Amino acid sequence: MRKTLIAGIAAGALIAVATAIPASAADGDAKLSVLHAVPGLTVDVYVNNALTLDDFTPGTLAGPLELPAGTYTVAITAADAADASAPAIGPIDLTLAAGGNYTAVAHLDPAGKPTATLYTNDTSTLAAGQGRLTVRHDAAAPAVDVLAGGAAVISNLSNPGEQSLTLPAGTVSASVAATGTTAPVIGPADVTVAEGTNTIVYAWGSLEAGNLALATQTIDGLHSNPGGVPAGEAGLVATNRPADAAPLWAGAAIILLIGAAFGGLRLRRLASAKADR
Amino acid sequence: MSGIALAAATLLLLAGCAGGADAGQAAGSNSTPTVTATETPTPTPTPASGTGAAAAPVIPDVPRTDASIGAAAAAPTVVPVRVEVPDLGVDVSVAPEGTDADGALALPSDPGIASWYRFGPSPWSAAGSTVIASHVDSLEYGIGQFARLTDAAPGTVVLVTAEDGRVERFVVQTVDVEAKNGIDWATVFDRTGPPRLSLITCGGEFDYSTGHYLSNVIVTAVPDA
């Protein structure tokens, strides 16, 4: 296939490649990842008619590409195509905003026909300790629920929709079932929801062909930090401690001790009262 | 830094086009996900000259990963379980903690158990500030061992032990008493940059009306070379 390209493409095409994917990332560039989620089909991906992903296999995530804001034409061809003129999917125009984070997914539509969807990835900051879980339906299958701990956490998600949750960081045992049912068509599978990370789970494949699967993509660095370290409560080592503070604290300790003694006494009385019965 | 920039630039040259993200992340210390190699001067590839030259088509080297669930599982962070400052008689156990209801670092009430911020780096992470904090005092337990940290001189040795038994040795660089309302927590909890250890407790003046100290004591230590 490379041979075909060498034979068939003049120097102008080389310049087209250079303009399609800029040499260096710049401030404000958009990020574009590409997920191949069409079962059983190795493809080539062309961006603005320039071959960008050669022999791209299903279940593979590529990128992110750093691209200046703008509109890009993406065509997905069979892996042995000579150019982008007869795409299997597309061509589709992807409009990328400055600083945006995107994933273009080649996948099956509900009827099992190859298509492509551009998703915008949520990179907003998460609270300390939290993670984001995004689920995208890219499978030839009816609407689904996502179940965790036996309950639906995402309901009635249909191809090519997405839903997002914010969760305490941890591992979620998740399964996918047809909407309104609980019998898994995928999973259960352990999904790590990492702190400060958008974990994107893609349901892909075909229900009819029996090859439904999950793919994941993570976007990290979305964390925020604890807002303080409250590491003292008594003033025992304060630089503004009153000179007579020590006797005061001794007094407080004695009061606490007395309280503890009475508490203990009361417990013993209760115990003996029970024993008497 | 110029050496790193040069190395990054070289990598970019070798990678052709789209290797910028990787090279930038390897060389940089940025904490945000969207910044990559922005300060690195990058060469523009020279367009193929001549006509019909037998050069292979320039296909960008875009990183690819197996997206199967579980395929890209990150290596678990090595958990610290003990901190010692032998010169000061400090020897406390360490518990992994997150945040409290106010979004501050959660701390065990017992000053004999320090809190390690489990979402940040540990001493065995490749980069960033490990934060281990302990109460300076407690109404129930009295004065904690971390009260002695203000006596740490530069060069004082700090030992951190992991749950698998390995020990990382640090030396104190600075001891700062900073007003709580002026501390840049993004710096204290920074997950990037050179590996370092931040031991934190409270200190300075005490507000007897709110029951809080007005300052934090922050001891910064670096791995012993």
**SS3 (DSSP) at B96:** strand
Tally of CB atoms within 10 A around B178: 17
Which tokens sit at A19? Answer: 């303009």
Q: Report whether pLDDT(B40) > 90.
A: no
Q: How confident is the model at residue B34 (pLDDT cuts 50, 70, 90)?
A: very low
**Average pLDDT score over residue span A229-245:** 87
Continuous segment of H or E residues that includes residue A119:
strand A114-120
- Here the ipTM equals 0.74
Tally of CB atoms within 10 A around A211: 14
Decide if A215 and B33 are in contact by the 8 Å CB cutoff: no
The minimum CA-CA distance between A169 and chain B, rounded to whole Å, is 9
DSSP string of A16-80? HHHHHS-SS--TT-EEEEEEEE-TT--EEEEETTEEEEEEEPTTEEEEEEEE-SEEEEEEEEETT
**SS3 (DSSP) at A165:** strand
Pick the residue with more confidence: A89 or A2? A89
Write the pLDDT tens digit of every residue in A149-186. Answer: 878 999 999 999 999 999 999 999 999 999 999 999 99
Residues shown for chain A: 277
Chain B residues whose beta carbon lies within 8 Å of the beta carbon of residue A101: 33-34
* Nearest residue to A196 via CA among B126, B22, B120: B120
| Domains of chain A by residue range | 1-120, 124-224
Q: How confident is the model at residue B76 (pLDDT cuts 50, 70, 90)?
A: confident
Decide if B216 and A229 are in contact by the 8 Å CB cutoff: yes
Q: Report whether pLDDT(B20) > 70.
A: no
Write the pLDDT tens digit of every residue in B122-148. Answer: 999 999 999 999 999 999 999 999 999
Determine whether A9 is exposed, middle or buried from the number of CB atoms within 10 Å of its CB (0-12, 13-18, 19+): middle
Write the pLDDT tens digit of every residue in A61-87. Answer: 999 999 999 999 999 999 989 999 999
Decide if A227 and B66 are in contact by the 8 Å CB cutoff: no
Residues of chain B with CATH 2.40.260.10: 80-223
Report the pLDDT value the prediction gives residue A14, as an integer from 0 to 100. Answer: 39
Compute the mean pLDDT over every residue in chain B, rounded to the nearest whole number.
81
Report the pLDDT value the prediction gives residue A252, as an integer from 0 to 100. Answer: 53
Q: Report whether pLDDT(B47) > 60.
A: no
- b/e burial code for range B19-43 (CB count within 10 A of at least 16 → b): bbbbbbbebbebbebbebbbebebe
Chain A residues whose beta carbon lies within 8 Å of the beta carbon of residue B134: 231
Q: For chain B, say whether A271 makes contact (Cβ under 8 Å).
A: no
- C-alpha A100/C-alpha A116 separation (Å) is 18
Q: Report whether pLDDT(A248) > 60.
A: no
Report the pLDDT value the prediction gives residue A27, as an integer from 0 to 100. Answer: 75
Tally of CB atoms within 10 A around B135: 29
Write the pLDDT tens digit of every residue in A90-108. Answer: 899 999 999 999 999 999 9
Pick the residue with more confidence: B135 or B2? B135
Write the pLDDT tens digit of every residue in B174-205. Answer: 999 999 999 999 999 999 999 999 999 999 99
The minimum CA-CA distance between A148 and chain B, rounded to whole Å, is 16
Which residues, other chains included, contact A112 with Cβ-Cβ below 8 Å and sequence gap of 6+?
Answer: A140, A206, A208, A209
Report the pLDDT value the prediction gives residue A39, as an integer from 0 to 100. Answer: 96
Decide if B216 and A231 are in contact by the 8 Å CB cutoff: yes
Q: Report whether pLDDT(B39) > 70.
A: no
Decide if B47 and A226 are in contact by the 8 Å CB cutoff: no
**Within this chain, domains A1-120 and A124-224 share the same CATH topology:** yes
- C-alpha A118/C-alpha A271 separation (Å) is 69
DSSP classification of residue A147: E
Chain B interface test: which of A15, A17, A24 (most B C-beta within 10 Å): A24
- State the helix-helix crossing angle for B20-27 and B2-15, rounded to 10 degrees: 160
Report the top-level CATH class of A124-224. Answer: mainly beta
- b/e burial code for range A154-164 (CB count within 10 A of at least 16 → b): beebebbbbee
Compute the mean pLDDT over every residue in chain A, rounded to the nearest whole number.
84
Report the top-level CATH class of A1-120. Answer: mainly beta
* Nearest residue to B146 via CA among B105, B221, B91, B183: B91
Decide if A229 and B21 are in contact by the 8 Å CB cutoff: no
State the pTM of this model. Answer: 0.76
Q: Which of A63, A226, A237 is nearest residue B105 as measured by Cβ atoms?
A: A226
Which tokens sit at B8? Answer: 């990054």
Decide if B213 and A52 are in contact by the 8 Å CB cutoff: no
Decide if A228 and B104 are in contact by the 8 Å CB cutoff: yes
- C-alpha A237/C-alpha A15 separation (Å) is 70
Which tokens sit at B121? Answer: 């780096």
The minimum CA-CA distance between B71 and chain A, rounded to whole Å, is 9
Report the pLDDT value the prediction gives residue B72, as an integer from 0 to 100. Answer: 66
Q: For chain B, say whether A1 makes contact (Cβ under 8 Å).
A: no
**Phi, then psi, of A207 in degrees rounded to 5:** -65, -45
Scanning A172-211 for CB atoms below 8 A from B yields 189-192, 194-196, 201-202
Q: How confident is the model at residue A250 (pLDDT cuts 50, 70, 90)?
A: low
Decide if A23 and B42 are in contact by the 8 Å CB cutoff: yes
Q: For chain B, say whether A244 makes contact (Cβ under 8 Å).
A: no
* Nearest residue to B191 via CA among A39, A99, A225, A57: A225
Write the pLDDT tens digit of every residue in A190-201. Answer: 999 999 999 999
Chain A interface test: which of B32, B65, B129 (most A C-beta within 10 Å): B65
Chain B residues whose beta carbon lies within 8 Å of the beta carbon of residue A195: 119
The minimum CA-CA distance between A277 and chain B, rounded to whole Å, is 36
Give me the CATH code for the B80-223 domain, please: 2.40.260.10
Scanning A53-112 for CB atoms below 8 A from B yields 53-54, 56, 59-66, 99, 101
Report the pLDDT value the prediction gives residue A3, as an integer from 0 to 100. Answer: 40
